[in-house]
Amino acid sequence: MSAAPKRIHLSDYAPPEWLIDNVALTFDLHPQHTEVSARLQVRRNPACMKEGGNALPPLRLDGEALELVDVRIGEEERPLDARAHVVRDDALIITRPPAERFTLHTRVRINPAANTQLSGLYMSNGIYCTQCEAEGFRRITYWPDRPDVLSRFTVRIQADEKEVPVLLSNGNPVESGRMDDGRHYAVWQDPYPKPSYLFALVAGRLEALKDTFTTADGRTVDLAIWVEPGKAARARFALESLKKAMRWDEERFGRVYDLDVFNIVAVPDFNMGAMENKGLNIFNDRYILADENTATDRDYENIEAIIAHEYFHNWTGNRITCRDWFQLCLKEGLTVFRDQEFTSDVRSRAVKRIEDVRLLRSLQFPEDAGPLAHPVRPSSFGAIDNLYTVTVYEKGAEIVRMMHTLLGEAAFRKGMDVYFERFDGQAVTVEDFIAALSEGGGRDLSAFMRWYEQAGTPHVTMRRSHDDEGRLTLHLVQNNPKAQEAKPEKALPQPIPLRLALFDKEGKRLPLRPVGEGARHVTGAAGDILLLDSTALEITFDDVPRDAVVSLNRGFSAPIRLESDLDRDTLLFLLKHDDDAFNRWEAGQTLAVSAILDHLRGKTDDALSLIDAMAEALLPDLPRLANADPAFLAEIMKFPGVQDLAVHVGRDVDPEALHLSREAVMAHFARRLGESLPELFSQLAVTEPYAPTPEQCGRRAAQAVMLALFVQADAARGAALAMEVFRTARNMTETALALDALNLTQTPQRDEALAEFRERFGHEPLLLDKWLAWHARWTGEGCAARLWALTEDEAFTWRNPNRVRSLFGVFGMANPVRFHAADGSGYALLARAVRKVDALNPQTAARLAQAFGNWRVMEPQRRKKAEETLKGLAEDDALSADVRDIVERALSG
């Protein structure tokens, strides 16, 4: 059996004994044998030098899959004495460094063509490209591969001029020219010291879409997006998004770009979405390429958001980076917060918030409740690649958002200014960030460390009581079951900012007049935040009529599970009248959850009458919303998904039963809306030429929801309408929304439309992915068997992560009914795919395996099947460390 991965602990952190101020790299590119020469200027870290101590510690350089050709020392490049160094599988150790400062020269050979892991230097469809975060740089050259060693890089690339015309790396281009023998070279210099994980190199036959950007301080930056030849026109939207993001970061955060050039490259084979390498972002091409015939509105929105996210890393991640990988959330949580704010500013704030909360509830809450739960800043990890989770990213962003909520925008900005000023050019910790925010923001935020250090979603209960003097008291209690389960003595109350409003029964806002002891917990720039920072809290408000309505956790001000004593009529009132769009939506979700759970528990009449009341509350407002805010209309008509519902059920979950109740309730809702569904569908039609504007996207999103509901209400008529939409679609969004609706059915039209789609669009890889994903999301019986058959399709390849994720990633994460099939067939299918992918690409395989993270909440029969499958995997000798880490945690937690 392969060894269990060694756990790394935050408490073992020690600063690097040696620093590398400058490095010069030369790449002589050949597909099977690239040679990398490195000249390192090494220096003792003064922080580690003890007074009087003169013995020099060894210099350890990480290495993986490198063939060492040569190692030399000193300016004069003397061969290094065999006794002065040790070469191991995972390291080159200079056992006897000659001095406190010296130069080291290494030469290694690597094989990019054979690199199927897509970590280090590899080839994607003939293009050389790199991925170094977190630990890929050690697969390129020997190096102290940790984020707290920051160096100035000079990179020279040499390659065949015809085969490899474009040569790119980080920083600014400084020189290029011809060599003899048909080769050419380019030299790039990055003036900003950076950790190795931000290194990048791209070389190949590429075409660019170019533009310029003038920064707030008047400098011109050359922008280019590089894509495979013939695809440049499809990068237009990405380029526009980049300029928008650059301007936004100047305006909202005062952050100006700092190099002469900014390059982005799109490649088809990539382990994740994109990578923020300094001055040279590398993207999965699905997040660059778009035109109306190949991309949906959602694709456009993703492109805009991911371009922004990677760009924003230039300051939060690159200029200020992480001291160690435990601090990953320092750059990721903060940068997700920043990209969420960008999208909120350029699109709809309320809709963005709803989408983010939906993501939290469907993926992060289940993760935080299951065996793979971990704190946003973990104290140990087994495999670094598995730390890139929804918890680190999305919950990490929620913590920043809570601090923003508490401080208000102006004070938050001051805190960020202190952060940028104080830590520019350094590798820092979450504590450093909180200290800067506290100081600049003028409020002690140190209690938020508890959010970073404790796993689990806090549960908050809210009860109301009234007295005879017109006072309302809110009784708040918090409890974090997961943190309790992990270390009861260490589970501490977390600071929970709850935004509050009170309404009279006409829907008019009442002023908040806190009185007594609890009043000091009412805070925030607008005085509408209740800060629940102890286990229990009571807050009393004066002058509140008995029938006043409470709206709490507005805008989802804290990522918690809230259980309140608000009754059905109050929730219906909020669904109609809350002036916080998020909480209006939230009231609908709460009602929908209780209707579906009632239905599941056999209380069908209660469920259906609740749905009747919801339909009645919403119906009169639908035509207005369709005109005024179609994107919000789309959200308010969507029901919570099975994964979210499963969190509410908590244990002994039967996803199929949940799915059936959900469908029944939705069908009832849809029938109550009756003819207004097709009417709204027509009312929402976009007649203007296609543009991915918030307005048009909103209309089409609402159309998608109407069509899906119509299909639920009346399969025959719905499928007929969907087929007509499919046939007359004028862009990919319309095609896809028709297929989304058909894919909810088991009708012949579904099969027909899918076959036709394949015929018309199957030659385009990104569209093939959509086609595969429809199969993966289908809840019909034959789903699992069909998915395996699709891997035999000539267009499918196990080597491309997009293909693999479209089938098995979607299946595991977005098809709970079939993945958790009672007979275990879904588990078996996924395990089979994990094994197959693991042999080529462990990172991608481990990501697929994360679907097993919520098996413990299933009912006994499924639980047994899942456990058997996981145990089978665990016994597999060939498993990679990445997959083993997931499997063992899933079994043990």
Torsion angles phi and psi, residue 690, rounded to 5? -60, 135
Nearest approach, Cβ of 286 to ligand B3K (angstroms)? 14
Strand duo 85-87 + 459-466: pairing? unpaired
Task: State whether residue 125 is helix, strand or coil.
Answer: coil
Residue 132 near which of Zn ion, ligand B3K, none (CB within 5-8 Å, type-dependent): none
Strand duo 261-267 + 220-227: pairing? parallel
Which of residues 137 and 365 has its CB atom nearest to ligand B3K in the complex?
137
Identity of residue 776: A
Q: Does 133 bind ligand B3K (CB under 6 A)?
A: yes
Nearest approach, Cβ of 118 to ligand B3K (angstroms)? 10
Sheet with 91-94: list strands edge to edge. Answer: 59-62, 91-94, 85-87
Residue 134 near which of Zn ion, ligand B3K, none (CB within 5-8 Å, type-dependent): ligand B3K
Q: How far apart are CA 457 and CA 289, in angstroms?
A: 37
Which of residues 192 and 388 has its CB atom nearest to ligand B3K in the complex?
388
Active site residue 586: no
Look at residues 890, 809, 891, 811 and name the one whose alpha carbon lies nearest to residue 853.
Answer: 890
Query: Which residue is at the shortest CB distance from ligand B3K?
Result: 133
Residue 429 near which of ligand B3K, Zn ion, none (CB within 5-8 Å, type-dependent): none
Which of residues 335 and 457 has its CB atom nearest to ligand B3K in the complex?
335
Which residues ranging from 373 to 392 are in contact with ligand B3K (CB under 6 A)?
385, 388
CB–CB of 713/670 below 8 Å? Answer: yes
Which residues ranging from 4 to 23 are in contact with ligand B3K (CB under 6 A)?
none
Which of residues 185 and 388 has its CB atom nearest to ligand B3K in the complex?
388
Mask: binding to ligand B3K, 825-864, rule CB under 6 A, as x and -? ------------------x---------------------
Which residues ranging from 241 to 300 are in contact with ligand B3K (CB under 6 A)?
272, 274-276
Opening angle at CA 735, ends 732 and 736, nearest 5: 85
Question: How many of the chain's residues bind Zn ion (CB under 5 A)?
Answer: 2
From the DSSP assignment, how many helices (H) and strands (E) are in the chain? 32, 34
Question: How many of the chain's residues bind ligand B3K (CB under 6 A)?
Answer: 13
Q: Looking at 190, 299, 310, 740, which residue binds ligand B3K (CB under 6 A)?
A: 310
Look at residues 211, 247, 216, 213 and name the one whose alpha carbon lies nearest to residue 226.
Answer: 211
Number of Cα atoms under 13 Å in the Cβ half of residue 604: 6
Nearest approach, Cβ of 310 to ligand B3K (angstroms)? 5
CB–CB of 460/563 below 8 Å? Answer: yes
What's the farthest any 2 CA atoms get from each other in the chain? 94
Number of Cα atoms under 13 Å in the Cβ half of residue 343: 23
Q: Does 134 bind ligand B3K (CB under 6 A)?
A: yes
Q: What tokens appear for 349 in the block?
A: 């704030």
Nearest approach, Cβ of 283 to ligand B3K (angstroms)? 10
Which residues ranging from 335 to 354 are in contact with Zn ion (CB under 5 A)?
335
CB–CB of 121/112 below 8 Å? Answer: yes
Nearest approach, Cβ of 274 to ligand B3K (angstroms)? 6
Nearest approach, Cβ of 328 to Zn ion (angstroms)? 9
Instruction: Output the CA–CA distances (angstroms, integers) from residue 494 to 34, 260, 866, in the order listed.
Output: 52, 44, 34
H or E element that contains 63: none
Which of residues 338 and 352 has its CB atom nearest to Zn ion in the complex?
338
Q: How far apart are CA 190 and CA 221, in angstroms?
A: 15
Which of residues 238 and 462 has its CB atom nearest to ligand B3K in the complex?
238
Query: Hey, which residues does 562 pair with through a beta bridge?
Result: 460
Nearest approach, Cβ of 267 to Zn ion (angstroms)? 18
From 310, 341, 586, 734, the catalytic residue: 310
Mask: binding to Zn ion, 297-336, rule CB under 5 A, as x and -? -----------------------------------x--x-
Torsion angles phi and psi, residue 685, rounded to 5? -55, 140
Residue 330 near which of ligand B3K, Zn ion, none (CB within 5-8 Å, type-dependent): none
Nearest approach, Cβ of 882 to ligand B3K (angstroms)? 10
Q: How far apart are CA 659 and CA 799, in angstroms?
A: 33
Residue 238 near which of Zn ion, ligand B3K, none (CB within 5-8 Å, type-dependent): none
Rg (CA), the chain: 28
Which of residues 133 and 888 has its CB atom nearest to ligand B3K in the complex?
133
Which of residues 433 and 681 has its CB atom nearest to ligand B3K in the complex?
433
Which residues have a catalytic role annotated?
A: 310
- The residues of the shown chain that bind Zn ion, judged by CB under 5 A, are 332, 335
Contacting positions for ligand B3K (CB under 6 A): 133-134, 272, 274-276, 309-310, 313, 332, 385, 388, 843
